[in-house]
Amino acid sequence: MAGKIKAIRGMRDILPPETGRWQAVESAAREAFALYGYRELRLPLIERTELFARSIGQDTDIVAKEMYTFPDRHGESLTLRPEATASVLRAVLENGLDKGGGVKKFYTLGPMFRYERPQKGRYRQFYQINCEALGSDAPEVDAEVILLLMEILKRVQLGASRLLVNSLGCPECQVKFKAGLGLFLINKEGLCEDCQRRRNSNPLRVLDCKSIHCREILKDAPVLRDYLCPDCAGHFTRVLALLSRFGVTYEEQPRLVRGLDYYTRTAFEVVAVGLGAQDAVAGGGRYNGLAKELGGPDLPAIGFAIGEDRLLEVLPENLGQGDGKKVFLAALGPGARDKAFSLLQTLRQEGIAAEMDFGERSLKAQMSQADRLGAAYTVILGERELETGQVVLRRMATGDQQQVALSLLPMVLAGL
């Protein structure tokens, strides 16, 4: 529509009945988090730009060209969060939530912002469910976090999907590996344009290239796993063993590198079929060095993010369609409408979902509306019923109806 104000590029309205599906996903996630001892954090959507620049990495695409960054009225550079982990760590350190023993477990959910070209499964405002476990480098925590992720995905009935895992090693392993990879790539010809550039700037990314041609060249490239130090190798082996013990099927994916600089050791991703090019519905990994990077203590941590928009894309259509018992009150005439309004509130206070129409509409029109709203029962209240005190209660699915005393109606409905 010309002249009408529209949502801006990459942003969208999520409307009923879609919102019901979103609620189903979020409550499933909340239940699973509670089961695993996680507590919710509610965080600002805006942070100082520096927080993201320092955590995610200057050379990543996110920081280099995808952030919504602007000066506030005092000229300070602020940024709409492109991901949640940095904010979580900032909040944890700022509020001393890392103090005291044990693993600190938090979740948070809400919108993230990245200035990218939108396409299927990729929006400029998108939603994530984030999980972060801080304070332990134990492989059991890695396994637990992945088990939790799988639990959530199971609860929302995610269909065909694959869990990919890899270990990126510690910084020492990564230095050695980059050297080895660089050596391997140095005399390789025929890499795609991007990979030739990445060969110097970020050699790990070359591994992730989707071009079949590059993949062919990289077939016998060195593999990260061969460069892991004994500690990292042991850690990874233990994580995989635990996953197997609990029946989680995974695929070791030596090429999996992930896009944020802060990842160390365990990295994982869940990809779903049916999503087109943007098929990662969840991703995560360990980020042992990040807290220190942000000026905090040595605080090993691991977490994941679920891409809600993408997840919803592949979940069942009918997810979260409640079978709620709803009652519609059809009233005929001013007197009956007035009485019905009172009844409406009485029913609601009894915990029975009830609706009516306040207009002067025919019974036929009101029945039709009841049908459209999915009412399980319709109560008919006209002049006749006002006189006798007996209303008609109609069961919509079958068309059966019976007379019920107005005064008994709340009780009768509650019992159905």
Partner RNA sequence: GUGGGCGUAGCUCAGACGGCAGAGCACCGGGUUGUGGCCCCGGCGGUCGCGGGUUCAAGUCCCGUCGCUCACCCCA
Min dist. Cβ of residue 313 to RNA (A) = 9
Q: What is the DSSP secondary structure assignment for residue 187, as one 8-state letter? A: T
Distant-in-sequence, close-in-space partners of 239: CB < 8 Å, separation ≥ 6: 139, 142, 143, 146, 165, 167, 266
Q: Which is nearer to RNA, 210 or 219 (CB)?
A: 210
Min dist. Cβ of residue 274 to RNA (A) = 10
Nearest one of 91, 105, 5 to 48, comparing CA atoms = 91
* Part of the chain binding RNA (CB under 7 A), chosen from 71-79, 165-173, 218-226, 304-312: 304-312
With tokens 């894309």, the residue in question is: 313
* Part of the chain binding RNA (CB under 7 A), chosen from 16-24, 181-189, 215-223, 357-365: 357-365
With tokens 């109606």, the residue in question is: 409
Site for RNA in 188-247 (CB under 7 A): 194, 198, 205, 208-211
- Residue 9 binds RNA (CB under 7 A): yes
Question: Helix or strand or coil: residue 177?
Answer: helix
> Looking at 5, 186, 212, 397, which residue binds RNA (CB under 7 A)?
397
Pairing mode, if any, of strands 264-272 and 301-307?
unpaired
- Residue 265 binds RNA (CB under 7 A): no
Q: Which is nearer to RNA, 37 or 276 (CB)?
A: 276
Is residue 299 a contact partner of residue 320, using CB atoms and an 8 Å limit? no
Q: Which is nearer to RNA, 283 or 289 (CB)?
A: 283
Rounded distance between C-alpha atoms, residue 327 and residue 377, angstroms: 5
> Looking at 97, 278, 296, 348, which residue binds RNA (CB under 7 A)?
278
Is residue 287 a contact partner of residue 302, using CB atoms and an 8 Å limit? yes
Rounded distance between C-alpha atoms, residue 401 and residue 157, angstroms: 38
- Residue 396 binds RNA (CB under 7 A): yes
Distant-in-sequence, close-in-space partners of 400: CB < 8 Å, separation ≥ 6: 394
Site for RNA in 62-121 (CB under 7 A): 62, 66, 83, 114, 116-121
Pairing mode, if any, of strands 39-40 and 104-113?
parallel
Site for RNA in 323-352 (CB under 7 A): 332
- Residue 363 binds RNA (CB under 7 A): yes
Rounded distance between C-alpha atoms, residue 192 and residue 381, angstroms: 74
Q: Which is nearer to RNA, 8 or 186 (CB)?
A: 8
Min dist. Cβ of residue 273 to RNA (A) = 12
- Residue 27 binds RNA (CB under 7 A): no
- Residue 362 binds RNA (CB under 7 A): yes
Rounded distance between C-alpha atoms, residue 363 and residue 341, angstroms: 16
> Looking at 48, 54, 122, 255, which residue binds RNA (CB under 7 A)?
122
Site for RNA in 33-52 (CB under 7 A): none
Min dist. Cβ of residue 383 to RNA (A) = 5
Site for RNA in 126-145 (CB under 7 A): 126, 128
Q: Is the dihedral of CA 52, 57, 62, 64 positive or negative?
A: positive
For residue 82, is the peptide bond before it cis, meaning its omega torsion is within 30 degrees of 0? no
- Residue 61 binds RNA (CB under 7 A): yes
* Token pair recorded at residue 41: 């954090």
Q: Which is nearer to RNA, 15 or 186 (CB)?
A: 15
- Total residues interacting with RNA, rule: CB under 7 A: 73
- Residue 6 binds RNA (CB under 7 A): yes
